[in-house]
Amino acid sequence: MSKVRRETVADQGLSILRSRILDGDLRPGDAVTEEAMARDIGVSRPTMREVLTILVGEGLLTRHPSTRILQVTTLTSAEVTEIYAARRILESAGVDGARQATAEERGRLEDTIREMEAAVADNDLYALVQADSRCHAETVALTRSRHLCALHDQLMAKLNLTLSQVESDQPSDNAELLRLHREYVELMLGGDTEAAKTQLLLRLDAAEKDVLEGLRRQETAGKTQRRTLPSARAL
Protein backbone atom coordinates (compact mmCIF):
# COMPACT_ATOMS: atom_id res chain seq x y z
CA MET A 1 0.00 0.00 0.00
CA SER A 2 1.39 3.41 -0.98
CA LYS A 3 1.64 6.13 1.64
CA VAL A 4 1.23 9.89 1.45
CA ARG A 5 4.66 11.47 1.29
CA ARG A 6 5.17 14.23 3.83
CA GLU A 7 7.09 17.22 2.48
CA THR A 8 10.15 17.91 4.61
CA VAL A 9 11.63 21.31 5.42
CA ALA A 10 14.42 20.47 2.98
CA ASP A 11 11.84 19.76 0.24
CA GLN A 12 10.20 23.12 0.86
CA GLY A 13 13.53 24.95 0.88
CA LEU A 14 14.55 23.18 -2.31
CA SER A 15 11.33 24.18 -4.04
CA ILE A 16 11.72 27.83 -3.00
CA LEU A 17 15.36 28.16 -4.05
CA ARG A 18 14.87 26.24 -7.30
CA SER A 19 11.97 28.55 -8.20
CA ARG A 20 14.07 31.64 -7.46
CA ILE A 21 16.71 30.38 -9.85
CA LEU A 22 14.36 29.36 -12.66
CA ASP A 23 12.19 32.48 -12.31
CA GLY A 24 15.27 34.66 -12.72
CA ASP A 25 15.29 36.17 -9.21
CA LEU A 26 18.80 34.72 -8.97
CA ARG A 27 20.75 35.26 -12.18
CA PRO A 28 23.55 33.24 -13.81
CA GLY A 29 26.79 34.02 -11.99
CA ASP A 30 25.08 35.18 -8.78
CA ALA A 31 26.76 33.83 -5.64
CA VAL A 32 24.67 31.49 -3.48
CA THR A 33 26.01 30.98 0.04
CA GLU A 34 24.79 28.55 2.64
CA GLU A 35 24.56 31.13 5.41
CA ALA A 36 22.75 33.82 3.41
CA MET A 37 20.26 31.42 1.79
CA ALA A 38 19.49 29.68 5.10
CA ARG A 39 18.76 33.04 6.71
CA ASP A 40 16.75 34.32 3.74
CA ILE A 41 14.55 31.23 3.37
CA GLY A 42 14.31 30.50 7.09
CA VAL A 43 15.89 27.07 7.42
CA SER A 44 18.90 25.72 9.30
CA ARG A 45 22.33 25.69 7.72
CA PRO A 46 22.49 21.87 7.63
CA THR A 47 19.14 21.85 5.80
CA MET A 48 20.36 24.49 3.35
CA ARG A 49 23.56 22.49 2.83
CA GLU A 50 21.37 19.56 1.76
CA VAL A 51 19.39 21.81 -0.59
CA LEU A 52 22.52 23.23 -2.21
CA THR A 53 23.95 19.75 -2.72
CA ILE A 54 20.80 18.72 -4.61
CA LEU A 55 20.88 21.85 -6.79
CA VAL A 56 24.52 21.20 -7.65
CA GLY A 57 23.50 17.69 -8.68
CA GLU A 58 20.73 19.14 -10.86
CA GLY A 59 23.22 21.42 -12.55
CA LEU A 60 21.54 24.65 -11.45
CA LEU A 61 24.48 25.58 -9.21
CA THR A 62 28.21 25.22 -9.88
CA ARG A 63 31.37 26.08 -7.98
CA HIS A 64 33.52 28.91 -9.29
CA PRO A 65 36.81 27.27 -10.36
CA SER A 66 38.93 29.86 -8.52
CA THR A 67 36.95 30.94 -5.46
CA ARG A 68 35.02 27.64 -4.99
CA ILE A 69 31.96 29.74 -4.14
CA LEU A 70 28.66 28.32 -5.35
CA GLN A 71 26.98 30.35 -8.06
CA VAL A 72 24.00 30.07 -10.36
CA THR A 73 25.09 28.12 -13.43
CA THR A 74 25.89 29.98 -16.63
CA LEU A 75 25.54 27.92 -19.80
CA THR A 76 27.73 28.56 -22.82
CA SER A 77 26.55 28.20 -26.41
CA ALA A 78 28.48 24.93 -26.64
CA GLU A 79 26.65 23.56 -23.58
CA VAL A 80 23.26 24.57 -25.03
CA THR A 81 24.17 22.72 -28.22
CA GLU A 82 25.07 19.64 -26.16
CA ILE A 83 21.74 19.79 -24.32
CA TYR A 84 19.77 19.90 -27.56
CA ALA A 85 21.84 17.03 -28.97
CA ALA A 86 20.97 14.96 -25.88
CA ARG A 87 17.31 15.96 -26.11
CA ARG A 88 17.14 14.75 -29.70
CA ILE A 89 18.37 11.32 -28.62
CA LEU A 90 16.17 11.05 -25.51
CA GLU A 91 12.96 12.36 -27.05
CA SER A 92 13.42 10.35 -30.27
CA ALA A 93 13.77 7.23 -28.12
CA GLY A 94 10.49 8.18 -26.45
CA VAL A 95 8.76 8.49 -29.82
CA ASP A 96 9.99 5.00 -30.71
CA GLY A 97 8.56 3.75 -27.43
CA ALA A 98 5.11 5.07 -28.35
CA ARG A 99 4.49 1.86 -30.32
CA GLN A 100 4.14 0.01 -27.00
CA ALA A 101 2.37 2.81 -25.09
CA THR A 102 -0.29 1.71 -22.63
CA ALA A 103 -3.67 3.40 -22.36
CA GLU A 104 -2.42 5.22 -19.26
CA GLU A 105 0.70 6.48 -21.03
CA ARG A 106 -1.33 7.61 -24.05
CA GLY A 107 -3.74 9.38 -21.71
CA ARG A 108 -0.94 11.33 -20.03
CA LEU A 109 0.27 12.61 -23.40
CA GLU A 110 -3.25 13.55 -24.45
CA ASP A 111 -3.68 15.35 -21.11
CA THR A 112 -0.76 17.65 -22.00
CA ILE A 113 -2.59 18.73 -25.15
CA ARG A 114 -5.76 19.44 -23.20
CA GLU A 115 -3.69 21.49 -20.75
CA MET A 116 -2.21 23.45 -23.66
CA GLU A 117 -5.66 24.04 -25.12
CA ALA A 118 -6.91 25.43 -21.80
CA ALA A 119 -3.82 27.62 -21.44
CA VAL A 120 -4.23 29.07 -24.93
CA ALA A 121 -7.93 29.72 -24.31
CA ASP A 122 -7.10 31.52 -21.05
CA ASN A 123 -4.04 33.26 -22.53
CA ASP A 124 -2.08 31.77 -19.62
CA LEU A 125 1.50 31.79 -20.93
CA TYR A 126 2.99 30.26 -17.80
CA ALA A 127 0.57 27.29 -17.93
CA LEU A 128 1.25 26.93 -21.65
CA VAL A 129 5.00 26.67 -21.13
CA GLN A 130 4.50 24.17 -18.31
CA ALA A 131 2.21 21.99 -20.45
CA ASP A 132 4.65 22.22 -23.37
CA SER A 133 7.50 21.08 -21.14
CA ARG A 134 5.37 18.26 -19.73
CA CYS A 135 4.62 17.03 -23.26
CA HIS A 136 8.36 16.56 -23.84
CA ALA A 137 8.77 14.88 -20.45
CA GLU A 138 5.89 12.47 -21.12
CA THR A 139 7.50 11.63 -24.46
CA VAL A 140 10.71 10.55 -22.72
CA ALA A 141 8.63 8.67 -20.13
CA LEU A 142 7.61 6.32 -22.96
CA THR A 143 11.12 4.85 -22.76
CA ARG A 144 10.08 3.51 -19.33
CA SER A 145 13.55 4.31 -18.04
CA ARG A 146 13.70 6.31 -14.83
CA HIS A 147 17.36 7.06 -15.52
CA LEU A 148 16.62 8.59 -18.92
CA CYS A 149 13.70 10.54 -17.45
CA ALA A 150 15.91 11.89 -14.65
CA LEU A 151 18.56 12.92 -17.17
CA HIS A 152 15.95 14.69 -19.31
CA ASP A 153 14.56 16.51 -16.26
CA GLN A 154 18.06 17.69 -15.39
CA LEU A 155 18.74 18.90 -18.93
CA MET A 156 15.41 20.75 -19.09
CA ALA A 157 16.07 22.45 -15.75
CA LYS A 158 19.41 23.76 -17.02
CA LEU A 159 17.87 24.79 -20.32
CA ASN A 160 14.98 26.59 -18.63
CA LEU A 161 17.55 28.49 -16.59
CA THR A 162 19.02 29.82 -19.84
CA LEU A 163 15.61 30.43 -21.42
CA SER A 164 14.64 32.68 -18.52
CA GLN A 165 17.66 34.89 -19.20
CA VAL A 166 17.76 35.37 -22.97
CA GLU A 167 15.46 37.38 -25.21
CA SER A 168 13.89 35.81 -28.30
CA ASP A 169 13.39 37.68 -31.55
CA GLN A 170 10.69 35.20 -32.58
CA PRO A 171 7.10 36.40 -32.01
CA SER A 172 5.04 34.00 -29.91
CA ASP A 173 2.25 32.24 -31.79
CA ASN A 174 0.49 30.24 -29.12
CA ALA A 175 -2.11 28.82 -31.49
CA GLU A 176 0.63 27.52 -33.77
CA LEU A 177 2.50 26.05 -30.81
CA LEU A 178 -0.67 24.19 -29.82
CA ARG A 179 -1.30 23.01 -33.39
CA LEU A 180 2.21 21.60 -33.74
CA HIS A 181 2.04 19.74 -30.43
CA ARG A 182 -1.43 18.37 -31.19
CA GLU A 183 -0.20 17.17 -34.59
CA TYR A 184 2.89 15.64 -32.99
CA VAL A 185 0.94 13.67 -30.39
CA GLU A 186 -1.61 12.52 -32.97
CA LEU A 187 1.16 11.28 -35.28
CA MET A 188 2.93 9.51 -32.44
CA LEU A 189 -0.14 7.83 -30.95
CA GLY A 190 -1.52 7.10 -34.42
CA GLY A 191 1.48 4.92 -35.17
CA ASP A 192 3.33 7.22 -37.60
CA THR A 193 6.40 7.45 -35.41
CA GLU A 194 8.75 8.46 -38.23
CA ALA A 195 6.62 11.48 -39.11
CA ALA A 196 6.30 12.36 -35.41
CA LYS A 197 10.05 12.12 -34.99
CA THR A 198 10.69 14.30 -38.05
CA GLN A 199 8.32 16.97 -36.74
CA LEU A 200 9.89 16.84 -33.28
CA LEU A 201 13.43 17.21 -34.62
CA LEU A 202 12.45 20.17 -36.80
CA ARG A 203 10.99 21.92 -33.74
CA LEU A 204 14.10 21.19 -31.66
CA ASP A 205 16.32 22.53 -34.46
CA ALA A 206 14.31 25.76 -34.57
CA ALA A 207 14.32 26.06 -30.77
CA GLU A 208 18.08 25.54 -30.54
CA LYS A 209 18.70 28.18 -33.22
CA ASP A 210 16.46 30.65 -31.35
CA VAL A 211 18.25 30.10 -28.02
CA LEU A 212 21.74 30.33 -29.54
CA GLU A 213 20.85 33.55 -31.34
CA GLY A 214 19.54 34.94 -28.06
CA LEU A 215 22.80 34.05 -26.32
CA ARG A 216 24.81 35.71 -29.08
CA ARG A 217 22.77 38.90 -28.79
CA GLN A 218 23.24 38.80 -25.03
CA GLU A 219 27.02 38.39 -25.39
CA THR A 220 27.17 41.22 -27.92
CA ALA A 221 25.22 43.51 -25.61
CA GLY A 222 27.48 42.50 -22.73
CA LYS A 223 24.59 42.03 -20.34
CA THR A 224 21.86 39.58 -19.32
CA GLN A 225 18.40 40.40 -20.57
CA ARG A 226 15.77 38.86 -18.38
CA ARG A 227 12.89 37.11 -20.06
CA THR A 228 9.99 35.87 -17.94
CA LEU A 229 8.74 33.23 -20.38
CA PRO A 230 10.23 31.40 -23.37
CA SER A 231 8.74 32.08 -26.78
CA ALA A 232 6.48 29.60 -28.52
CA ARG A 233 9.46 27.99 -30.30
CA ALA A 234 11.92 28.02 -27.42
CA LEU A 235 11.39 24.60 -25.83
In a domain, 234, yes or no: no
In a domain, 54, yes or no: yes
In angstroms, rounded to a whole number, what is the distance separating the alpha carbons of residues 38 and 57? 19
In a domain, 89, yes or no: yes
Q: Residue 136 is part of which domain span? A: 77-221
CB 171 within 8 A of CB 31: no
CB 38 within 8 A of CB 27: no
Residue 7 has pLDDT above 90, yes or no: no
Structure confidence at residue 17 (pLDDT): 92
Mean pLDDT of 136-153: 97
For residue 138, how many C-alpha atoms fall within 13 Å in the half-sphere facing its CB? 23
| 64 and 166 part of one domain | no
The rounded mean pLDDT for the chain is 87
Containing 229, the helix (H) or strand (E) segment is none
Question: Residue 18 CB: number of other CB atoms within 10 A?
Answer: 18
In a domain, 3, yes or no: no
Mean pLDDT of 197-204: 97
| 184 and 204 part of one domain | yes
Structure confidence at residue 197 (pLDDT): 97
- Looking up residue 184, the CATH number of its domain turns out to be 1.20.120.530
Residue 48 has pLDDT above 50, yes or no: yes
| 52 and 144 part of one domain | no
| 105 and 13 part of one domain | no
| 147 and 98 part of one domain | yes
In angstroms, rounded to a whole number, what is the distance separating the alpha carbons of residues 120 and 108? 19
| 32 and 52 part of one domain | yes
Structure confidence at residue 3 (pLDDT): 47
Which of residues 72, 95, 127 is at a domain's end?
72
Structure confidence at residue 228 (pLDDT): 46
For residue 223, how many C-alpha atoms fall within 13 Å in the half-sphere facing its CB? 4
| 99 and 39 part of one domain | no
| 213 and 186 part of one domain | yes
Strand partners, 194: none
| 43 and 124 part of one domain | no
In angstroms, rounded to a whole number, what is the distance separating the alpha carbons of residues 12 and 153? 19
In a domain, 233, yes or no: no
In a domain, 232, yes or no: no
pLDDT tens per residue, range 79-94: 999 999 999 999 999 9
| 178 and 203 part of one domain | yes
- Looking up residue 54, the CATH number of its domain turns out to be 1.10.10.10
Which of residues 22, 40, 72 is at a domain's end?
72
Containing 61, the helix (H) or strand (E) segment is strand 61-63
Which of residues 52, 72, 92 is at a domain's end?
72
Containing 208, the helix (H) or strand (E) segment is helix 193-221
- Residue 143's closest CA among 194, 90, 186? 90
Q: Is the entire prediction scored with pTM above 0.75?
A: yes
Domain count, the chain: 2
